[in-house]
Amino acid sequence: MFQGETAITIDDKGRLAIPTAFRDAVAKAGNQLVLTYNPFESGCLYLYPQPVWEKVRDQVNALPRTRSVNRQLQLKLVGAACFVEPDGSGRVSIPASQRSACGLEKRAVLLGMGDKFELWSEQAHHAQIRQTLGDADLGEDLNGLQL
C-alpha cells in the first residue's frame, strides 16, 4: 500500500502534507488516520489508516495487562493514539506533545512501510540509517532473503 521515503516539511501550525502519491490510498482507506508513538524507536511516530489501526489496537489491547512490557506497549500505542483527518489540502495536524516528544521540527521524513507510515525527525532518521548501514550483524537476521 505505502512505500517510499519522502522529505517533508512540518509547517508552523504543526501540519504536514500527505504526499500526493499517497492521498488516493488514504482516501480509499476512509480518509481517517491514527497517529501514535513508535514503541520501539525514539524520534518516530506511526501513522496508520484507521482500518489497519483497529486491528493493531485490538491485538495490543488483548495482551495481558499484568505484564509490564505489555502495559508499556499499550500506553505508547493505544494510550497516545489520536485520530487525524487530512484537510482539503491533504494536510494533517500533529499534536504539539507528540512533535515535542519525538523531536519533530520543521524538517522530517515520511516513510511508507506497507500498511502504515513512519514519521521520523530528520535527525533521528539519518541516525537510524547510519546505524543500519553500519550494523555488521544485519545479514544474519535476513535468513535467506534475496534482496
Amino acid 135: pLDDT: 64
User: What whole-number distance in Å separates Cα of residue 88 and Cα of residue 137?
Assistant: 45
Helix (H) or strand (E) holding 147: none
Question: Domains of the chain (ranges plus CATH)?
Answer: 2-124 (3.40.1550.20)
Amino acid 142: pLDDT: 60
Amino acid 128: pLDDT: 84
Q: What pTM, to 2 d.p., does this model score?
A: 0.86
Low-confidence residues in the chain, pLDDT < 50: none
Exposed e or buried b per residue across 85-107, where buried means at least 16 C-beta atoms within 10 angstroms of its C-beta: ebeeebbbbbeeebbeebebeee
